[in-house]
Structure 1
């Protein structure tokens, strides 16, 4: 049973309830494959993300980092065999371009293990996402990017919502009419398994230009305005 985690960012480690959920879900721990957010740089190595897993007691037999030093064919093979795929945080645009350049979408979508994204990685797990200068991107124009489309919603992860809620509503208004948008700050997560969504921390749902703060815990898909795939 495939389980998906859309993470924000954690200054320390996973909160206990999230760590327990992820540990429970990770029944196979043979291979962890991390996908770089800046594949041209060897300094993006997932050190911080690995520390979260290690603190939760989640240890794998093998660790692999996918970047330009790994050939496309080998990258697909490692992803297909992975117990867990972790899309690292960092540069959302560069990671998105790499996913498409290496044609990794189908390999990730068909993986039967656990798929996790942190910050940029969570955003790229979305169906679509907004790249805008007002959302912190180094760009002069607003662009809509296609993500992995693991579910039929968008994610805005690791953003300072408390001080920028007006900006978020304005920038994502049109997208919210097409897709539900799950927005979160640091120390937050969304867990999706089959037809259920579990909320950890302060997560907001922006749909049809209406912003709602979600309660923590497990919800049925029927609680939401758009079905999960």
Structure 2
């Protein structure tokens, strides 16, 4: 049974309840595969994201970073053998392009382990997501990208909601008519397992152009106004 974690960004480390949940879910810890958000740069190495796991007492026997330095077939083999997959934070567009260029989507979708995404990685786990200059992307036009589509919703993760809620509502309005959008900032997460969605921290649901703050608890998909 695959469990999915859509993370924001953490200034320090995971809060205790999130750390406990991740520790409980990572029952097999042979191999962690990290997928770069800027595969042309060796400096994107997952150091920060790994520090969160290590602080939570989660260690693996092997660690592998997937970027352009890794041949495509080797990348696929490592993903197939992975106990957990971590899509790193950073450049959402470059990571999305890399997933398609290396033909990694189906392998990640079929992996039976834990799948984690932080910030850009969480966004790329969406069914669809909005790339817009008003949402912090280095682009001149608004574009809809297809993600890994584990679930029938979108995610906007690690965005400065406190100062940009009106911008978020405007930019995601049309998408919210099509898909529920989970909107979060820092120090928060969404855990999805089968028909259960657990909320950690300040997370909002934007659906049919209506923004609702979610309570920190385990929800059933039937709790939400639109089908997930």
Distance 1:198 1:100 in 2: 29
2:19 is matched with: 19
Structure 1: 4+ residue segments shifted above 2 A: 225-228
- Give the structure-2-normalised TM-score: 0.99
Query: Does the residue aligned with 1:168 lie in a helix, a strand or coil?
Result: helix
Q: Which runs of 5+ in 2 are unaligned?
A: none
User: CA offset at residue 206 of structure 1?
Assistant: 0.1
State the number of aligned residues.
228
1:146 aligns with 2:141: no
Alpha-carbon contact 2:173-2:208 (below 8 Å) kept: yes
2:107 is matched with: 107
User: CA offset at residue 162 of structure 1?
Assistant: 1.1
1:220 is matched with: 220
1:34 is matched with: 34
1:59 aligns with 2:59: yes
1:211 is matched with: 211
Distance 2:206 2:227 in 1: 15
Distance 1:145 1:45 in 2: 24
User: CA offset at residue 138 of structure 1?
Assistant: 1.1
Distance 1:192 1:227 in 2: 14
Query: Does the residue aligned with 1:177 lie in a helix, a strand or coil?
Result: helix
1:4 is matched with: 4
Query: Does the residue aligned with 1:191 lie in a helix, a strand or coil?
Result: strand
Alpha-carbon contact 2:207-2:226 (below 8 Å) kept: no
- Give the structure-1-normalised TM-score: 0.99
Query: Does the residue aligned with 2:32 lie in a helix, a strand or coil?
Result: strand
C-alpha deviations, 1:51-93, integer Å up to 9, x for none?
Answer: 0000000000000000001111111111011010000000000
Query: Does the residue aligned with 2:108 lie in a helix, a strand or coil?
Result: helix
Query: Does the residue aligned with 1:175 lie in a helix, a strand or coil?
Result: helix
Distance 1:149 1:72 in 2: 22
